[in-house]
Amino acid sequence: MPFSRFPFRRLAALALLSLATSCGSDSTDDPTPGPVLAESQHLALGNPSGATVDPSKPTNYLLLKNQYTLSYHRDRGTPNWVSWHLEQADLGPADRQDDFRADASLPSGWYQVQSSSYSGSGFDRGHNCPSAARTATEADNSATFLMSNMIPQAPNNNQRTWNNMEAYTRTLVSATQEVYVIMGSYGKGGVGSNGPASTLDNGRITVPARIWKVVVVLPVGNDDARRVSSSTRVIAVDTPNENSVSSSWGQYRVSVDAIEAATGLDLLSGVPTSVQATLEAKVDNGPTQ
């Protein structure tokens, strides 16, 4: 990763900590947008909910990882969204670690979802930032197995539909091309292998009704947000969290505008406004494999 491209990771974290401000609402289920903070390596295209590192705002809490950045919703026990940059250097020889575990970096006193919290539920521990997108080192791969990066995902949705889209996304990454990915979920109630469910772990984890993803494809370069143009390929997908979902993810393509309307998020906010308006209204019709 070129030095000119991103600030040092620790400096980015410190900048975000120093700029933490009040946002969101403890009494609402959905994150309330707040101020956009200093750029971190995975937020070059924007902070969709204005998440901050203020623990008094538990429905929109910013967690900074070297491998991805996310907005965590304590009361749902899942992320609102996870954002990450993916380039060729992120794809390497490291094996899948399978070390699912609680995220000890959550604020003191918050419930930490455990590796066993989904056991017997009929839902997979579904990654947002995928394991296969972080194989440069074992440490990078291990970071994707934190439970703060997971949602209860219907097995066929996870293992077929999203697995197929994730594999296709990796084919877009090369020595000359990179991608940004933002994934999230919303609503309440899905259908897993044991049938419908709204919560897990004695009500401490919400099962989402819908799962979405936005992929922005760019040539390798610098100042990424400013290089997004009205011709940039943006793939937006929104699927039901149900075991009956089709394995063909392409049929679930929607516009970014539609995802924003459903979630209340402001996606691609780092991109110039005039370009946003054009890109976010489109529905991708490119190849899917």
The catalytic residue positions are: 127
- The total number of residues shown for the chain amounts to 289
Give the residue from 32, 44, 53 showing the smallest Cα distance to 4.
44
Cβ atoms of residues 126 and 151 within 8 Å: yes
Amino acid at 133: A
β-sheet bridge partners, residue 186: 210
Spatial distance between the Cα atoms of 289 and 106, rounded to a whole number of angstroms: 38
3-class state of residue 125 by DSSP:
strand
3-class state of residue 177 by DSSP:
strand
3-class state of residue 62 by DSSP:
strand
